[in-house]
Structure 1
Amino acid sequence: MTTYNFSAGPSSLPTEVMTQITQELTKNQATHMSILEISHRTPQFENILDEAKASLKSLLDLPDNYKVMFLSGGGTTQFEMVPMNLATRLKKIAILDSGNFAHKPIGAAEALNVTVDVPGTTRSIKYRELPHLPAQFDDTQYDYVHLVTNNTIEGTTYHQEDIPDVQHLVADMSSNILAEPYDFKKFDLIFAGAQKNLGIAGITLAIVNQDWLDEQDLSHLAPMQKYQTAIDKDSMYNTPPVFAIYVLNLVLKWIEQSGGIAGLYEKNQRKAHKLYDYLDHSSFFDAMVTGKERSLTNVVFTSGDAKRDAQIAQKASQAGFYNLAGHRSVGGFRASLYNAQPEQAVDDLIAYLKNVEMEYLND
């Protein structure tokens, strides 16, 4: 039986990457040890680190003043590190409250005595739509504006045309980095957990505009709290997650061989549009998000009955479609279509959903 992983993360890895990991996992003649055993101070790992940074800068088309960091603690730790490092002048930031992972940074920043304004929120309608900055928004009153490009739980996305034009923009791109094109130079800081589109859990990517970071007063921070420490020590102030960075580097090579962001974007559009088209014409299932704000990477939908949805999700696992249940705050279903998800997975899922639809409508 063919099986598919629709988890929101950790998610599927490309088959080619899984094959290479398997081949390189045991001891080899060059290092006399497994990739799981090598030191972060070896030339082999230093090459992996350099390759990964160069690939990211190339894929994102970023100039030299943007610095790549590999950090621990997940995206959640970035809710604290970002205001620590980048809200040092006015100690005031603005957050577009577009979903669960946009709401959490509000409390994190406030706990650090940073004032947080929320110029737009759709929390009252359970984040079914995206909030936007008001027409008269004055970005000079804030150290930066924070947004989440793709809301993993709710299935909404700020696509390139909806990215606000502000002086300093911070983006949590955890669930759609490298999945669709953005003008990445519009962002002064990008961060993303690796376990969705970049690799496996255990590593967080952060990329910062060094020119902006140089303007900050970081004298109040301990070394591990500073982005500059990670930059100066090449992400090795402490022992980094060697294996996670190794996997990330393999995934980046796979992305390059897949046509880069442009190639994957074409594939991702095709996958998502197939599923949305089915849902829009279904008399049983409904997509929870409509219009241009729909996510390409996290498609949320429902049959309209929570108990029935849970039953269908359980039966789907038995049929080989794993982790289809939606987040507990939203319910229904969530099909995560990250870069590594094959198009055949979507075709097979649609065929399965059609059978479910017929079964329930004819019952």
Structure 2
Amino acid sequence: MKRAYNFNAGPAALPLEVLQQAQEQFVEYQGAGMSIMEMSHRSALYEQVNNESQALMRELFGIPDNYHVLFLQGGASQQFAMIPMNLLRPGRVGAYVKTGAWADKALKESKFVGETVIAASSENDKYMRMPNVNDFIVPDNAAYLHMTSNETIGGVQFQEFPTNLGNVPLVADMSSDILSRPIDISKFGLIYAGAQKNLGPSGVTVVIVRDDLVQESPKDIPAIFRYDTHAKNSSLYNTPPSFSVYMVNLVLKWIKSNGGVAAMEQINRDKTKLIYDAIDQSNGFYIGCAHPDSRSLMNITFRIQSEELEKQFVKESEQNGFVGLKGHRDVGGLRASTYNAVPHESCKALAEFMADFQRRNG
């Protein structure tokens, strides 16, 4: 079997070992006589998967005891609404850092719930550079400050997070880069991430939320949208996306077996360097989109001198087994998403293809 060089932005690559293990357990899980997709989410076997997955998240990401780990549905897009529904109160504002398409979508959703302000924006830089965290302007009545740690479309990533927010909770969408590098969780009030980029398949969203924010869940919104509902029920209030949670469980075990999050960061730096070097050493044939100080380890965006050459690049790359290198439809260009599960060999193959394409077309 020849595996594709999968650079899809999401749903994205999964570790081959994880897929093979899931294949082995697909028809019958742990001697139950059925697949995990067929069993009750109230069963002891599934509760074990649920609890173990939460424990693994805590262990790998260094999550303190005063935080809940929730497995929810609706993707990060549902969190765009749930966050202001749970945290934004009359007389308070939701502060947002506007860094690209996903941050903008979160901001737009919050406006349906309450008042918002923009604490910082990189719109003038065409979202190709992250704002300096020391330049954020956060009002005293902010209910929270929302950031998108990595913008998948633009290929930009925050290299650090603010530490001078006082009592204002920091909220972060980490859908694209969760578990790709160590993070001090205590700096955050809430972190959320759709699983389909760096944690597993689509269908489940991880929310890491501090106790005090859970306790503040208002009682005048539907129960399904309240964090305290899911925290009290250990993410089993309603039928969970059980197979997706199971797959996240396997991915977490894979990360642990490969040295944990710190090891993932070094692997990611080594493999993405191959592609960034191909861009930087091309004498202008390839043009990196993101400013060097904001470059993402998860999504590498670049252009070629003409759109015709870009189309040719995509066509030839597909003929050579590469998948997902066409840029997002809103911005065009080219993009390679290099999440944890994308192997070093795929990045090496892409760098070699880029060099060969340049030799033939430069």
Q: Same fold (TM over 0.5)?
A: yes
Deviations 1:18-45 (A, max 9, x none): 1100100113572011122111111111
Write the distance in 2 (CA, Å) between the matches of 1:116 and 1:196: 28
Is this contact kept in 2: 1:190–1:208, CA < 8 A? yes
1:221-241 Cα distance to aligned partner (Å, 9 max, x none): 111010110111111111001
Structure 1 position 59 matched with structure 2 position 34:
no
Distance across 2 between alignment mates of 1:285 and 1:226: 47
Aligned residue number for residue 287 of structure 1: 288
Contact 2:298 2:338 in 1 (8 A): yes
1:73 aligns to what?
74
The answer (yes or no) to whether the contact 1:169–1:187 under 8 Å persists in 2 is: yes
* Alpha-carbon distance between aligned partners in 2 of 1:110 and 1:324, rounded to the nearest angstrom: 34
Gaps of at least 5 residues in structure 2 are: none
Runs of 4 or more off by more than 6 Å in structure 1?
Answer: none
**Cα distance, 1:88 vs. partner?**
2.3
TM-score of the two chains, using structure 1 as the length reference = 0.95
C-alpha distance in structure 1 between counterparts of 2:273 and 2:38, whole Å: 43
1:217 to partner: Cα distance: 5.4
Residue correspondences, number: 358
Listed as ranges, the matches of 1:245-284 within 5 Å are 245-283=245-283, 284=285
Query: What is the aligned-residue identity percentage?
Result: 37
Inter-partner Cα distance in structure 2 for 1:29 and 1:46: 13
Matches within 5 A, 1:1-363: 3-27=4-28, 30-88=31-89, 90-112=91-113, 114-132=114-132, 135=135, 137-160=137-160, 162-166=161-165, 167-214=168-215, 216=216, 218-283=218-283, 284-361=285-362
Secondary structure, aligned partner of 2:60: helix
Cα distance 1:314–1:230, how it changes in 2: closer, same or farther (>3 A)? same
CA distance in 1, matches of 2:140, 2:304: 45
1:62/1:318 Cα in 2 relative to 1: closer, same or farther (>3 Å)?
same
8 Å Cα contact 1:175/1:197 also seen in 2: yes
- 2: CA distance between counterparts of 1:206 and 1:22? 27
> Does the 8 Å contact 2:145/2:171 carry over to 1?
yes
Provide the rounded CA distance (Å) in 2 between the counterparts of 1:202 and 1:217: 24
Deviations 1:294-326 (A, max 9, x none): 100100011032232122112211110111001
TM-score using structure 2 length: 0.95
Post-superposition shift, 1:134? 6.2
> Matched residue of 1:240: which SS?
coil
**Alpha-carbon distance between aligned partners in 1 of 2:103 and 2:193, rounded to the nearest angstrom:** 13
Assess, with a 3 A threshold, how the Cα gap between structure 1 residues 291 and 352 changes in structure 2: closer, same or farther. same
Q: Distance in 2 between matches of 1:217 and 1:14?
A: 37
Seen in structure 2, the aligned counterparts of structure 1 residues 306 and 124 have a Cα distance that, compared at 3 Å, is farther
CA gap of 1:274–1:232, structure 2 versus 1, over 3 A, is: same
Q: CA offsets, 1:233-286, max 9 Å, x none?
A: 111111001100000000000111111110100100101112111210103111
